[in-house]
Each structure stands twice: as C-alpha cells, then as structure tokens.
Amino acid sequence: MNKYILFLAQFFILFLFWYLLSGKNIVLLLLLGVIISMLITTYQQKLKILDDESLPIAILPRAIIYWIWLYKEILLSSIFVSKLILKFPLNVSPKYFKIKSNQKTAMGFNIYANSITMTPGTISVVTNNAEKEIQIHAISEETKLGLESGVMDEKIRKLM
C-alpha cells in the first residue's frame, strides 16, 4: 500500500484517539494533538514500523464482517458452554488435539489461533507457524468438531 496513505491513516487514527481522550475543543489542545500525532507518525515511518501489517487498511471492510461473525460465534459458544457446565450430571469430555491451518500469512495464522482462544470452550495451547499447526484444548467433543469443520479457518483465509 502507498506509504502516504499509511502515513495519513495512522495520523488520523492517532489524532482521533487524542481528540476522544481529551474531550475538549480547545484550540491549544487540538494543535498539540496534531503536532504529537504528526511526530509519532513520522517517528514510526523513520523506524519502518508503519507497514501493511501494522495498519491493515486493505482488510478493514472484510475484518468488520469477520468481527461480527466472530462475536456471534463467541455468543453461541458461551451459551453452549454455560449449558454444558450447568447441566447435571456434568457432561464435560475434554479433548486435546492438533489442527492444521490453511493460512497463507503469519498474520492470518495468529488471528486464527487468537480467535480459537477467544471462543469459549477452546484454547490454543501451542502454535507452530512453520508447520501451520495448532495444539488445542477443547472442553467437549462438540467444540472439537466445530473447529475441525474448518469454517473459522476458511473465514480468516478469505479475510487475509
């Protein structure tokens, strides 16, 4: 992506953050916000910190759709785990297994591993980016089968 677009996007994000935290429309505070946002963005660019991975503007529309889907999955999984735990007798059957990822990028692989951990009932225990493999602990056979279906992996692959 064009380095000027990245520069401007980072500047506006930092300035918006400054403005929201200050909560005032005083000219001096706004001017300080502009100056500090410009200095930080310039510093990031000189250190070569600012790149497509640090500010993934290109995937933002797809990311919003993914976040909505992930929120729905977290909610459904929370309900499932709550029912599983509250039901008597306790019907928990923990599973520890490995799963292969189809991610093409390191960022996609990390998003996948973190999404697994964010979903109640599953935890990414060990990740191996070189072999695209994740060791997972699941609270039940159903949560294991949900991951093995590959839906989340495919959604993240399309996101990236």
Residue 120, preceding bond cis, omega within 30 degrees? Answer: no
pLDDT of residue 139: 94
Residues 78-94: tens digit of each pLDDT: 999 999 989 888 888 99
Q: Where are the beta strands (DSSP E) in the chain?
A: 95-100, 122-128, 133-138
| Three-class secondary structure of residue 128 per DSSP | strand
What distance in Å separates the CA atoms of residue 119 and residue 117, rounded to the nearest whole number?
5
Confidence of residue 127 (pLDDT cuts 50, 70, 90): very high
Instruction: Give counts: helices (H), strands (E), the chain.
Output: 6, 3
Query: pTM for the complete prediction?
Result: 0.73
